[in-house]
């Protein structure tokens, strides 16, 4: 079965070369790569053009900045593969990643898959470690093994299943969850090894938190109100100090203030100006 790797990128000039070259070394060979530059303002497109001659299976597209869901859905329409694989430009992969990820689909044991073997690529960075701690992850792994049965993110899925539900809903940070919600089932876990960069500066932390906060909430406006309350300075200080002690990172509360400040701004923008999911 042929696979199409879909990568939606926005300002990924620092990571994209390593991402694509690691895909070129895969033991599984029957795939194409479609990269959609979602209106980057850095040198992402230049990086892609420079790599085009090295990767015969690479297709490149460029669009105005519309967010990852629309970029991925556009790429899926161009795909020739029977399996769609959704990756990010700030990832890189073990040579057996695709072989391991796609195995249950190719063997017809599952219609979709994800991997539990996702690790932080920049674990030596303080802010990157704090990003994991903020989500209750004490080590380098980005997947909580206690909640594997709750994972909604498809890293790979049969194209016919993706098309059946119209692809991803454009709801921002949690857009990748929408396939599972519409299909009524969750992906199967695999052991494909890969690495993912966490935000590595306070600016990146603030920006990501601001975008993530604009997502759709389970209880609508009430859900947003509760999220805003959790991000207020007093609660932020209490939680920040608690986790600083728990994870033995004395200055974690600085991270927490910046993260929650970005979340509060995102929530305010979402409520006052309407939903705006674009990073």
> Tokens 């994991």 sit at which residue?
132
Full-prediction pTM beyond 0.85? yes
Among 177, 196, 215, give the residue marking a domain's end: 196
Please indicate, yes or no, whether residues 161 and 182 belong to a single structural domain of this protein.
yes
Among 179, 196, 213, give the residue marking a domain's end: 196
Share of the chain above pLDDT 90, in %: 86
Q: What is the pLDDT of residues 187-233, one digit of tens each?
A: 999 999 999 999 999 999 999 999 999 888 887 888 889 999 999 99
Q: What is the pLDDT of residues 29-52, one digit of tens each?
A: 999 999 999 999 999 999 999 998
In a domain, residue 278? The reply is no
Please indicate, yes or no, whether residues 177 and 221 belong to a single structural domain of this protein.
no
Pick from 227, 219, 225: nearest CA to 259: 227
Pick from 234, 114, 257: nearest CA to 177: 114
Please indicate, yes or no, whether residues 51 and 148 belong to a single structural domain of this protein.
yes
> Distance (Å, rounded) from C-alpha 98 to C-alpha 157?
12
Please indicate, yes or no, whether residues 146 and 81 belong to a single structural domain of this protein.
yes
> Distance (Å, rounded) from C-alpha 136 to C-alpha 249?
13
Please indicate, yes or no, whether residues 160 and 268 belong to a single structural domain of this protein.
no
Range of the domain at 249: 203-273
> The domain that contains 155 carries what CATH number?
3.90.550.10
> Distance (Å, rounded) from C-alpha 278 to C-alpha 59?
24
Please indicate, yes or no, whether residues 177 and 260 belong to a single structural domain of this protein.
no
Among 176, 196, 216, give the residue marking a domain's end: 196
């Amino acid at each position: 079965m042929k696979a199409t790797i879909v990568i939606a990128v926005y300002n990924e000039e620092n990571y994209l070369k390593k991402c694509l070259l690691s895909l070129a070394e895969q033991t599984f060979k029957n795939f194409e790569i479609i990269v959609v530059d979602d209106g980057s303002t850095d040198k992402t497109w230049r990086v892609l053009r420079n790599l085009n001659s090295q990767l015969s299976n690479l297709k490149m597209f460029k669009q105005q900045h519309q967010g990852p869901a629309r970029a991925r859905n556009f790429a899926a329409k161009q795909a020739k593969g029977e399996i769609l694989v959704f990756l990010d430009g700030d990832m890189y992969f073990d040579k057996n990643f695709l072989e391991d990820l796609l195995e249950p689909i190719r063997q017809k044991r599952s219609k979709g898959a994800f991997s539990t073997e996702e690790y932080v690529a920049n674990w030596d960075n303080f802010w990157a470690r704090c990003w994991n701690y903020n989500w209750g992850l004490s080590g380098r792994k980005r997947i909580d093994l206690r909640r594997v049965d709750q994972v909604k993110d498809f890293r790979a899925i049969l194209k016919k299943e993706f098309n059946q539900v119209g692809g991803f809903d454009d709801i921002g940070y949690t857009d990748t969850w929408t396939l599972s919600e519409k299909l009524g089932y969750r992906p199967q876990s695999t052991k494909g090894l890969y690495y993912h960069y966490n935000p590595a500066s306070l600016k990146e932390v603030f920006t990501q938190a601001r975008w993530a906060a604009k997502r759709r909430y389970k209880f609508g406006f009430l859900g947003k109100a509760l999220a805003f309350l959790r991000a207020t300075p007093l609660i932020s200080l209490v939680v920040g100090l608690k986790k600083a002690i728990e994870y033995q990172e004395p200055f974690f509360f600085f991270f927490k203030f910046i993260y929650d400040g970005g979340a509060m701004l995102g929530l305010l923008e979402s409520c006052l100006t309407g939903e705006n999911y674009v990073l």
